[in-house]
Each structure stands twice: as structure tokens, then as C-alpha cells.
Structure 1
Amino acid sequence: MSEAGSTMQSAAGTRLNRKGRETRQRLLDIAIGSLADGSGEPLSANRIARAAGVSWGTLKHQFGDIDGLWAAVLTELTDRSGANSPEIWPRVTGSVRERVREMVDAVWNILDTPEGRAVEALRAGLPNGQERVEIFPLTTAAMAAYENAWLRAFEYFLADLPLDADKVRGVRTLIPMAMRGINNERGLSSPADVANARDCLVDAIAVYLG
């Protein structure tokens, strides 16, 4: 869980007891699973509540509204990824290319997990631009925190090398975007072509960073 059990609160500001914490976690797990299953159904808080066997009122008590639910989902997924926990990151060594390879492989692997699919489904299901900010302010902030955690992790992979800071900033933004594009080909192109595309991305970034 993303919060200590003794201090976890509902959207109404009340401290959750053990049953309340278990209900909250069950709702989060079901929401993540529902997003990840690829059914194409609309994002629906009622659907999550029904699957968890609770009322809309219970979900509202826990998260406030659909915006609060998706924000909590993203916070949970950030914690699960470990990207926001530098104390558990591995010690990084190797050449620029080897490190870029690790970064690319990390994104590739997470995109093929239920957690990664849940994030991508949520990204695709939310409105874009200012409309997202206005309708889903909490979710927008939580999505930014999720992405920033990964950006910090990418910087960590390269931090001890004498590289151009502007190029590093560009690369840390490029990798997730490029990997989402390659991931879209996962079920459409041959495994060899997809692997070659990843290899080319690694080589191009390594050359660019010098």
C-alpha cells in the first residue's frame, strides 16, 4: 500500500480501520485489473464498485469520486513500480550503451505487465489537454508524478557519466514515448522486427549521447 496503515485516511478525512484499508486495497486491485484486462469497456467507477461487491457510496467514501479513484490507482502503481524509491535502485555500471539498454528494457518489461497495461489504458481513456486538467485534476497530477518518478530513474542511470545535461533530459523524455510506439507493434509485427527496432533505438541514443 502507498500509505502507512495507521495513518491512511478516506477521502472524507476519516482514519481507515483494518476493514476500511482492506476494502480500499481491494478496490485498487480490481481497478488496476479492470484497466489492464483490455476489454475496451468505458472507465467506470460503478463497474469497479460492482466488481468489488461494494456500493458506490463505499467507493465515494474511500476516494471521493472517479478522479480520486484514478489518482489513487496511479499512486499505487508508482509505488509498485519502485521508480519512486531510489533506495532500492540497483547500482549502475557499464557503458552508455549498456545503460541505455537497461533503460529501454525496463520500459519494455513494465509495458507488458498488468500494471503497465493499466497505466496505458488510463492514459488512453482520459481526455487530452486542458479538458483533462479541468475534469481530472487529481489524476493529472498523479500521472505527472508517475512519469516524473520514471524520469528521475532514467537520470539516475546516467548521473555519474560526463554527458551533456540537455541531451540527457531529451533522452529521458524520448525513451518512454518511443517505447510506447514500439510496444504498439508487439502484437502486429514479428518478434524479430520488434527486437531490431529496440536495438536501433538503443544504438541511436547511445551515439547521440556520445
Structure 2
Amino acid sequence: MTEVPASRVRRPNRRGQTTRANMLAAALTALASGDPGSVSANRIAKDIGATWGAVQYQFGDADGFWAAVLHLTAQRRAELFTDVDAGAPLRDRVAAIIETLYHGLAAPDSRAIENLRAALPRDPDELERLYPQTAAELYSWGQSWLQTCRNAFTGLDIDPERVREVAALIPGAMRGLASERQLGSYADLDVARRGLTNALVAYLQGTDIKTT
């Protein structure tokens, strides 16, 4: 994928910095509501009494605006996994990742990003064509998440390819469990998370599973 700057860098004065911060905060609040109509940079600007020109000055365009929103939430998310003990047994590390994601997916930032992603093109080529900066941020999220998993399992004798596969699996699996929690379910989600943890630990530890 072609590298594209995550957002256009400006050095605004203090008032400009406040305006930028207010726009990003308003975006997260609006997006977290789940309203499809909230995915509008122009509407968000109006919510805080700003103009479309102010958005363009701060972020360039809607693409730059959404990229900045993603970048901000990525910075916040990186702090969530600092509690994964790199000296703990494998099971404890996997359980910590599962629990962190399970509870984190209920947070406003996560709801905001899910709403934003739902409004963006599904096809990667179209996304990169229409929203190159936003696509670059999403790509960087995936790379950062893979590195987070590698760091979480450092010091353990685990096949790197299995770490990569598990890193690819966990986010989708956790969104499924988070959806069950949101919609209401007869399933015991504590048991589900324990089962997922056990399965991941067994796979990461296993030596007799053929991969293709």
C-alpha cells in the first residue's frame, strides 16, 4: 500500500489548537451516537459553531478530518495494552488482551470508529482512492495492532506466523462478542471469552497443527 501522511500537519496558534481539539471532540461525540448522519465533517463543524472553511484550514478536507479522528483514537488505544504483563504466563497475557478489548469495545471511542467505518467504502481500492489519508490511518492501525500482539507475546517460544494469525482473528472475534452483549444474548459471554482464551492459548502453544 502506498504510504500517505496520516494528516496534514499545521502549526496553528493557541486559538487554532483549541478549535482543532473541539472539532475532534465533537466528531467523537457525534460519531459515538451511532447516527449515520453524524458522519459529516460539515455537520460536526456546525455543531460547534465552526464553518467548513475552518475544517479545511485545520484538516484540509473531510479525508484529513477523518484521518485525524482515527489518529487521535489510535493514540488513546495504544495506552490500553500497557497493562499486559510481558513476564506473565501465556494464558494470562491472552486473557488480558481479550478482556481489554471486550471492555474497550463498549467505550465511546470504539463506537465512534465503528460508525465511521460503516460509512466508508468497503472496497480497499475505493477507500484508498476517495479517502487516502483515512485509508493510511486504518492500515497503520492494523500494523500497530500486529506489533501490539508481538510485544504481548515477547519472550515466549511461539511461531511468529501463529501470532500474526491470532492478531488477525482477535478483533473480529471480539466485535462479535461485543455485538452479542449489545444486542442481548442467552449465551454466557464469560464462558465465551474463557473458551476463546483457551482456544487461542492452545493454538499458540500447539506444535501438531498444520498451517497452510
Number of paired residues? Answer: 198
The CA deviation at 1:108 is 1.2
1:173 corresponds to which residue? 168
Q: Which region of structure 1 is more displaced relative to structure 2, 57-66 or 90-99?
A: 90-99
Q: Matched residue of 1:186: which SS?
A: helix
Q: TM-score, normalised by structure 2?
A: 0.86
1:22 corresponds to which residue? 18
1:72 corresponds to which residue? 68
2:146 corresponds to which residue? 151
1:122 corresponds to which residue? 116
| Equivalent-residue separation in structure 2 for 1:156 and 1:191 (angstroms) | 35
Q: Which runs of 4+ in 1 moved over 6 A?
A: none
| Equivalent-residue separation in structure 2 for 1:107 and 1:51 (angstroms) | 31
Q: Which region of structure 1 is more displaced relative to structure 2, 67-76 or 143-152?
A: 143-152
1:184 corresponds to which residue? 179
Q: Matched residue of 2:65: which SS?
A: helix
1:102 corresponds to which residue? 96
Amino acid in the other structure paired with 1:31: A
Seen in structure 2, the aligned counterparts of structure 1 residues 197 and 14 have a Cα distance that, compared at 3 Å, is closer
| Equivalent-residue separation in structure 1 for 2:85 and 2:112 (angstroms) | 28
1:208 corresponds to which residue? 203
Seen in structure 2, the aligned counterparts of structure 1 residues 75 and 103 have a Cα distance that, compared at 3 Å, is same
| Equivalent-residue separation in structure 2 for 1:90 and 1:171 (angstroms) | 16
Amino acid in the other structure paired with 1:123: R
Q: Which region of structure 1 is more displaced relative to structure 2, 185-194 or 90-99?
A: 185-194
| Superimposed CA distance per residue, residues 53-105 of structure 1 (whole angstroms, 9 cap, x where no aligned partner) | 1011011111111100000001111111225x99x665423221111111111
Q: Which of the numbers 33, 50, 54 marks the counterpart of 1:54?
A: 50
Seen in structure 2, the aligned counterparts of structure 1 residues 71 and 207 have a Cα distance that, compared at 3 Å, is same
- Over the matched positions of the two proteins, sequence identity in percent amounts to 38
Amino acid in the other structure paired with 1:49: A
Q: Matched residue of 1:82: which SS?
A: helix
Seen in structure 2, the aligned counterparts of structure 1 residues 14 and 207 have a Cα distance that, compared at 3 Å, is closer
| Equivalent-residue separation in structure 1 for 2:183 and 2:71 (angstroms) | 31
| Equivalent-residue separation in structure 2 for 1:154 and 1:33 (angstroms) | 29
| Runs of 5+ consecutive residues of structure 2 not aligned to the other structure | 1-6, 206-212
Amino acid in the other structure paired with 1:205: L
Q: Matched residue of 2:64: which SS?
A: helix
Task: Give me the CA root mean square deviation.
Answer: 2.1
| Equivalent-residue separation in structure 1 for 2:109 and 2:186 (angstroms) | 22
1:193 aligns with 2:193: no
| Equivalent-residue separation in structure 2 for 1:14 and 1:121 (angstroms) | 27
Q: Matched residue of 2:121: which SS?
A: coil
| Runs of 5+ consecutive residues of structure 1 not aligned to the other structure | 1-9
